[in-house]
Amino acid sequence: MSDFIDTFWQMRLEKCKTALEKNNFDAFVAGTCSEAQKIFVEHILPTLHIKTASWGDSMTMYTTGVFDVIRQNSEIEIIETFAPDVPREEIIERRRQALLVDLFFTGSNAVTESGQLVNLDMVGNRVGAITFGPKHVIIFAGRNKIVADVETAMQRIKSYAAPANAIRHTGWKTPCMKTSYCMDCNSPDRICNTWTITEKSFPKGRVKVLLINEDLGL
């Protein structure tokens, strides 16, 4: 990536960080995924004193490798909510339990320049955890998630992130998987069920946002 593009986004991300902090989120800016992991390990994790952790589906979070770091810590119990060989009923029960962990990792479908998180969920375990339950939440978001406002965020999610996310999964049958366009479907596999707009972190600092100067996730 050209240096001037990175510089452009660095300025945007710093502005977004300031807006997030005004909304009571803790916010950080990392140049790369490996730097994001370093910030998490050296500056965030030591302040949290966690015993349990889990996560909501996020390509960006996976790319940072932070969960691999947590897995290597034998003092932290992990609730595995995406194990492919575990029956669906057990996965749902684990996702319920994951709402009570000390630390929950996930991503955000969009982050507005005025410091709001906008998300659209299928099951609701991700937006549920962002809203209430886990003591601490860490959101990882690439620069491609930064948008001007809530309206643009919702438009981005319905026109791009949701259909692309449906296509990412195999075995579902939604119309967008065949056309790439949202048809506002009634499919049993519909992934667009619950919107959340997180205007501010409550309590202050409960939700931490790590912005990364790379294009990541959907």
CA 112, distance to chain mean position in Å, is 14
Cβ proximity to ligand SF4, 79 vs 162, nearer residue: 162
**Cα four-point dihedral sign 128, 131, 134, 138:** positive
Cβ proximity to ligand SF4, 70 vs 191, nearer residue: 191
- CB 55, min distance to ligand SF4, A: 22
- CB 88, min distance to ligand SF4, A: 19
Cβ proximity to ligand SF4, 83 vs 183, nearer residue: 183
Distance, CA of 85 to CA of 121 (rounded, Å): 23
Cβ proximity to ligand SF4, 32 vs 180, nearer residue: 180
Distance, CA of 199 to CA of 119 (rounded, Å): 12
Residue 149, Ramachandran bin (φ over 0: left; ψ between -120 and 50: alpha; else beta): beta
Cβ proximity to ligand SF4, 146 vs 161, nearer residue: 161
- Among 124, 109, 138, 129, which residue's Cα sits nearest to residue 43? 138
- CB 131, min distance to ligand SF4, A: 21
- CB 216, min distance to ligand SF4, A: 20
Distance, CA of 79 to CA of 71 (rounded, Å): 10
Which residues, 168 to 207, sit near ligand SF4 by CB under 6 A? 174-176, 182-185, 187, 190-192
Q: Are 121 and 193 in contact (CB under 8 A)?
A: yes
- CB 194, min distance to ligand SF4, A: 12
Site map 124..163 versus ligand SF4, x via CB under 6 A: --------------------------------------xx
- CB 167, min distance to ligand SF4, A: 9
Q: Are 213 and 148 in contact (CB under 8 A)?
A: no
DSSP state of 99: G
Which residues, 6 to 45, sit near ligand SF4 by CB under 6 A? none
Q: Which residue has the tokens 């992130």?
A: 161
Distance, CA of 103 to CA of 88 (rounded, Å): 23
Cβ proximity to ligand SF4, 31 vs 175, nearer residue: 175
The contact set with ligand SF4 (CB under 6 A) reads 162-163, 166, 174-176, 182-185, 187, 190-192
